[in-house]
Amino acid sequence: MQKNQLVKLEITDLSYEAMGVAHLDGMTIFVNNALPGEVVEAKILKVKKSFAFAKIEKLIKQSPDRVTIKLNQWVQTGLASLAHIKYDKQLDFKRQQVINLLEKAHLNKKVNATVASPEETGYRNKAQVPVRKVKGQLEIGFFRKHSHDLVPMENFFTTDPEIDRVLVATRDILRKNHIPAYDEVKNKGEVRYLEVRRSKANGEMMVILVCLHKDFPQLAKVADEISQISDVVSVILNHNPKKTNVILGKHDYLLSGNPQIEDKIGDVCFKISAQSFFQINSLQTPRLYNLAIEKAGLTSDDTVIDAYSGIGTIGLSVAKHVKSVRGVEIVKPAVQDAKENALLNGIENADYVCGKAEELMPSWVSEGMKADVIFVDPPRKGLTLEFIEASVKTNPQKIVYISCNPATMVRDLTMYQDLGYDFEEITPVDMFPQTPHVECVTVLEKK
């Protein structure tokens, strides 16, 4: 098999990154944008030892699950790499990802149907888009898959259309004031990324300019013009001076308006700062938490630990169902937000502490704390062995695991099984329609 060779392929499966999978001459071939059941003429792009990548040249037989999309860029860039598949099939795909992972780990457990999102498009309450110069002009868009080539875009499809409006208006203000886009090769220019957050509850928006320098000529004028875009209540500069792929720098500077916006999950209000983690699908999040609360069978006598608590979203949603909640979170401003959010909602039975969950939980036990339930909601890399051991020593009856990465979740569940906890079922919840990302909830119980 060689680069640029044309081959006829029958697509038999979909990879976890949503690429069509075919087999030819003992090789596995990943075909961008192809669906199971399709027959394609494909051009080989890259050949490795046992696998290759290809792109469709001609669709010979089309899958009945394919839908026509307005912009090919949504799939090409990875912004929405499932957008060409019917929504109910996307839900099946996500459930199948979890089944495949359990099978690989030799675990015979039930996987429920994926809970559909109330909004299939325009659901994101936050956009973070790169700013680059393309054909002599400052553009916003998304990087082509596995590259840093910016594909200019104005319609981000999965993002709230109101956010798209503000992104485009901000881009036009930057263009009008001749602000240079960031050049990552030379590590020069000014604006690297635009981030916009929108409260679903009251429509308020925060604009964050991620910049190479913390000041530049025209900054005050630009901030003033952005603050006049309708519904923008907060303009912030995030300073990221490093040559890095990490989007945000450490320091934020308020240029205009408020340092936070306020949103709601169910009936609980949250103040959100520029760098705070906040679930991006505002309407689906309360469903995720209610499901977790229901599956955990919480009672009014329960003492709950909200490990990885962020700005308190899970703990404060759970507080009214239980005796008390103690949250632990490593990021100090997030802990401050969580405390403020408890006050904002008049919640008196939840307190928040800054530190590493795996270090603080054992010290609470030695002080006499008896936790009935631990909620964990870790980042994509999942839990550490240290955390798993500390949570088992805390000796809760139940551990509710909310995960945004089923691969690390299944790995962690097997470790819990070795330490005396087991689970019956996993429920995938679609927090990220049109993308291959899968969120899951499961409850581990002491055997």
Ligand X SMILES: C[S@@+](CC[C@H](N)C(=O)[O-])C[C@H]1O[C@@H](n2cnc3c(N)ncnc32)[C@H](O)[C@@H]1O
Angle at 369 between CA 368 and CA 371, to 5 degrees: 145
User: In terms of Cα–Cα distance, which of 111, 89, 115 is closest to 100?
Assistant: 111
* Radius of gyration, alpha carbons of the chain: 23
Of 225 and 358, nearer to ligand X (C-beta) is 358
Angle at 193 between CA 280 and CA 90, to 5 degrees: 35
| Residue set of the binding site for S-adenosyl-L-methionine | 279, 308, 329, 377
Determine the Cα–Cα distance for residues 321 and 293; give it in Å rounded to an integer.
Answer: 8
Report the C-alpha gap between 360 and 390 in whole angstroms.
Answer: 9
Tokens of 109: 């457990």
**End-to-end CA separation in angstroms for the chain:** 53
Contact assessment for residue 3 and residue 29, using Cβ atoms and an 8 Å cutoff: no
Exposed/middle/buried for residue 303 (C-beta within 10 Å: 0-12, 13-18, 19+): middle
CB 203 within 8 A of CB 282: no
Q: Residue 418's CB: how many other CB atoms inside 10 A?
A: 9
CB of 170 or CB of 391, closer to ligand X: 391
User: Which residue positions form the known binding site?
Assistant: 279, 308, 329, 377
- Structure-token pair, residue 13: 């499966």
Nearest to 124 by CA among 149, 142, 148: 142
Locate 107 and state its tokens.
Answer: 């675990």
Instruction: Tell me, yes or no, if 404 is annotated catalytic.
Output: yes
As given in the structure block, the two tokens for residue 134 are 């393309």
Q: Which is nearer to ligand X, 52 or 376 (CB)?
A: 376
Which of 211, 269, 354, 404 is an active site residue? Answer: 404
Which of 139, 306 has the CB closer to ligand X? 306
Give me the least distance between CB of 330 and ligand X, in Å please.
4
Q: How far is the CB of 150 from ligand X (least distance, A)?
A: 28
Phi/psi of residue 7, nearest 5 degrees: -135, 150
| Residues near ligand X (CB under 6 A) | 277-279, 308-310, 313-314, 328-331, 334, 356-358, 377-379
User: Shortest Cβ contact with ligand X: which residue?
Assistant: 310
Toward ligand X, which CB reaches closer, 80 or 402?
402
Nearer to ligand X, 97 or 313 (CB): 313
Report the SS3 class of residue 394: helix
Main-chain phi, psi angles of 75, to 5 degrees: -85, -40
Catalytic residues: 404
